[in-house]
């Protein structure tokens, strides 16, 4: 499986491609490096995101997961940049329970590109994050998007 690593403000991340789609974004540097056209485009879009020049990604994604997880991940992709949704709101959208949404959210194999960081607790609290430095990484990503869109960043985060 072709992989390409890149440096971000959050450290190294590695993108993986399979059958013409991105299937994973992992924290850390991958051992195998192969710069396919799709991985180079994903790298460039991520650089633009971290530089504040992009908030939406135009990439084919094919995360591996159960049908339920893929429904949740699809709902996450519909959350506009600069906005958040609660686990309960996503649960209503996919006819589920907030805890199950949280579990699917935590298993998201393509963080950032599938914006699991945009999901917060029903009371507006930041909530957890399964990637890198946990809630600090989530806070960083939400603040980055707010700055990119010239939006205020909630002090509750």
Contact 105, 119 (CB under 8 A): yes
CATH 1.10.10.10-classified regions of the chain: 67-148
Is 67-148 assigned to CATH 1.10.10.10? yes
Instruction: Please tell me the predicted confidence (pLDDT) of residue 129.
Output: 83
Instruction: Please tell me the predicted confidence (pLDDT) of residue 88.
Output: 96
Residue whose pair of structure tokens reads 């600069």 in the numeric block: 82
Instruction: Please tell me the predicted confidence (pLDDT) of residue 131.
Output: 77
145: its two tokens: 């998007």
Instruction: Please tell me the predicted confidence (pLDDT) of residue 49.
Output: 97
Instruction: Please tell me the predicted confidence (pLDDT) of residue 37.
Output: 98
User: How far is residue 41's CA from residue 15's CA, in Å, rounded to a whole number?
Assistant: 11
Calculate the dihedral angle through the C-alpha atoms of 22, 28, 33, 36, rounding to the nearest 10 degrees.
30
How many other β-carbons are positioned within 10 Å of the β-carbon of residue 116? 25
Which residues are designated catalytic?
116
Could you say which residues of the chain have pLDDT below 70? 155-156
């Amino acid at each position: 499986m072709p992989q390409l690593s890149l440096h971000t403000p959050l450290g190294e991340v590695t993108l993986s491609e399979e059958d013409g789609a991105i299937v994973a974004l992992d924290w850390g540097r991958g051992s195998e490096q192969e710069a396919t056209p799709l991985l180079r485009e994903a790298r460039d879009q991520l650089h633009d995101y971290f530089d504040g020049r992009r908030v939406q990604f135009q990439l084919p994604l094919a995360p591996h997961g159960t049908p339920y997880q893929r429904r949740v991940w699809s709902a996450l992709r519909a959350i506009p940049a600069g906005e958040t949704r609660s686990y309960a709101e996503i649960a209503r959208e996919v006819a589920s329970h907030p805890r199950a949404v949280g579990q699917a959210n935590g298993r998201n194999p393509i963080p950032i590109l599938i914006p699991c960081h945009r999901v917060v607790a029903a009371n507006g609290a930041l909530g957890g994050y399964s990637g890198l430095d946990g809630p600090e990484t989530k806070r960083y990503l939400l603040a980055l998007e707010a700055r990119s869109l010239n939006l205020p960043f909630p002090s509750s985060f």
